[in-house]
Chain A
């Protein structure tokens, strides 16, 4: 075991930054892979805890250290990511609370748990931030938003942003946007997968082999998104640029409009956002 207080306070800059993960599931795994691939923190500075060994093997393969003791993570880290399932979190917070100091930066990835709740369950001086990432953080093309609690200042926000920008887009937002981000981008990734599948199926129907169709569908989405991000043009303008008068694209778009695709997508974002809000209240 590790004696309380035996570990020195460490500097905030990488590579002296010691990062811990309480919970080692899919989302945590995505973030740590992004962190490692960007070379911001050496793997040996990262410690992750989980109740079973189920996920920890993958972390060790990355070069991270692992443990089954949540307290150890808190003792050995400055920056602590909370990545448990929502119903587990209150118990975990009660457990680690005694070890949390004013030098810690606690960043919660836990869906639906508000900053207010986190601050209530942690010591009053704790620097708390809440982040909502999405899955493509794994390939450094994620979209993340975060909000800060009462004691988290510009320094903490800047640190988080600089660490995680290697995983993709990372923006600070008011906490009220976090559920919207879930609906738009957290769940949004699934909408895109659905759309890609449907595109490919259309191509298969018209005679193209499935594997090729899927690769082309993915590349089409990637390319379109890249043009959006790089040109900064309004999507309606880019759409118009592709539509030759009387050509194939406008015929296809008419089909999409007939199917009220726009409204359906808006409905999806709304439904996911509302569900996130409801779940947070439970």
Chain B
């Protein structure tokens, strides 16, 4: 099986790194493409032994499982560009937040009558094989196709199938989640430094504390509330600290964060559906590069971009 990534940014790198480290895929069976060769992740991909190309079409031709690893506003351009090369055998996996299966199927159906589309939401810790991934299968993707993706993603962390309407919530929780954790860790380290620890040690200990706690929770049958209680000796240090967290509305801040991320994801999807994102919002250089690779896109249509209608001539 060969895997391709359209896009060679953080996500492609994280997944490629994870798959190869897991031994589920050899690096030479992975292709990644991007018009932008200056991305720092490009050299990272090359170092692992992934085939890098500037031609998205080459990636499609050399892949069975094709990951769309570009930012959501770029998806329609990619679909227009590689659509003609998509065959019934391909499993197209979109990792783009907020981009619906139906929008992708609609785009691809002008080229291929039964495109296999799977939508997934993963997160960056796939790079260390502790990712959190969910996926939903599209109209023409079989159970085996879903299982194949699940096998791939399970090699780099936790993976489970969900109903598509839950994916935005997953984005808010585990998609964005590592950022919440990094913020917390930065602050915890500050606390350690304030109380006299050297920075490096503070960071190391903070990270290990969160890692250990998460591991305990995953391996325990107990409710996190119970695990918390187990740490809180009466009148001790921890309960005093927790009181501060509660006073600051710690819990509600986290609930707010997950909610905001989920709502924003839906907003972006809504904007995309209504074709409200202007071309100016998309990096001009990227547009030009896409244009260079896709002679079927006319200059005129580039200036008046509508995100989910296909104005280019069929191949």
Contacts and interface: CB of A to CB of B under 8 A. Distances in A.
A206 B259 CA distance: 26
Instruction: Give chain A's interface residue range (CB within 8 Å of chain B).
Output: 10 to 19
A254 B255 CA distance: 7
Interface string B56-97: 000000000000000000000000000000000000000000
A237 interface: yes
B247 interface: yes
A interface: dominant SS: helix
Nearest to A239: B225
Contact of B249 (A240, A257, A267): A257
A98 interface: no
B215 interface: no
Contacts of A237: 223, 225-226
Interface stretch (A22-30, A146-154, A258-266): A258-266
A159 B63 CA distance: 81
A237 to B, nearest CB: 4
Contacts of B225: 234-237
A254 B249 CA distance: 11
B interface: dominant SS: helix
Contacts, number: 39
Interface in B203-259: 222-226, 229, 243, 246-249, 251-252, 255-256, 259
Contacts of B222: 234
29 contacts: A234-B222, A234-B225, A234-B226, A234-B229, A235-B225, A236-B224, A236-B225, A237-B223, A237-B225, A237-B226, A240-B223, A254-B252, A254-B255, A257-B249, A257-B251, A257-B252, A257-B255, A258-B249, A258-B252, A260-B247, A260-B248, A260-B249, A262-B246, A262-B251, A263-B243, A263-B247, A263-B248, A263-B249, A266-B243
Contacts of A266: 243, 246
Given A254-B252, A257-B252, A258-B252, A263 B246 contact: yes
Interface in B1-33: none
A235 B249 CA distance: 19
A24 to B, nearest CB: 36
Interface residues of B, number: 16
A51 to B, nearest CB: 40
Interface string A16-47: 00000000000000000000000000000000
A257 B259 CA distance: 14
Given A254-B255, A258-B252, A236 B226 contact: yes
Nearest to A235: B225
B146 to A, nearest CB: 22
A267 B243 CA distance: 9
A143 to B, nearest CB: 17
A180 to B, nearest CB: 9
A237 B248 CA distance: 23
Given A235-B225, A236-B223, A254-B252, 14 more contacts: A236-B226, A237-B226, A240-B223, A257-B249, A257-B252, A258-B252, A260-B246, A260-B248, A260-B252, A262-B246, A263-B246, A266-B243, A266-B246, A267-B247
